Amino acid sequence: MNQRLIFMVETAIFSAIALLLDYFSNILPRLPQGGSLSLAMVPIFLMAFRWGWKGGVLTGFLTGTLQIVLGMASIVHWVQFLLDYSLAYALLGISGLFSSWVISSADSRRKRAVVLSVFTAGLAGSALRYLAHVISGIVFFASYAPKGTPVVPYSLIYNSTYMIPSWIVSCLIVVLLLQTSPALLKRKSELT
């Protein structure tokens, strides 16, 4: 099968899985101005590790953009939509810059190497997503900061309350998946 077609199909499938995981995370408590623990990052990370940063960025972008189309997003301004959804989720795909390290670690089946590579790669993407949310918080949600609280520290703390747990839990799940099935990182052409 054509590699480009496989890439497009996998992007669509992984984006759909990310949306489903994000939808089901809505049963968990949400913060007042948005944000919650979400596992939507798991399929974005996996796609980034399978196809590199391009696969991760495209999957993240589709996931974030489809959240608005499906009414899963709250929007106060079109720039805020880009920052909190399309761009934020696309930035997770930057973790794909570490894909060769993650793949070689999974192939070697060295647990520490897998943990280190996944958490480092996940941190790169998550930190960029976090930065997008912080900027959005500073620009669009400053009025929610408690009286007398500077908006920058408020946005940094507020967004860390869901981004740090989401990064840790998502990376733990990816590590567990890769330790039990390193073939998840192999493309169909590499399996035959």
d(CA 183, CA 8): 19
Cα(177)–Cα(41) distance, integer angstroms: 14
How high is the pLDDT of residue 50? 96
Domain map of the chain by residue range? Answer: 3-191
Per-residue pLDDT of 109-156, as tens digits, reads 899 999 999 999 999 999 999 999 999 999 988 888 889 999 999 999
pTM of the model as a whole: 0.91
pLDDT for the residue numbered 124: 98
Q: Which CATH class is domain 3-191?
A: mainly alpha
HSE value, Cβ hemisphere, 13 Å, CA-based, for 73: 22
So what's the pLDDT on residue 75? 76
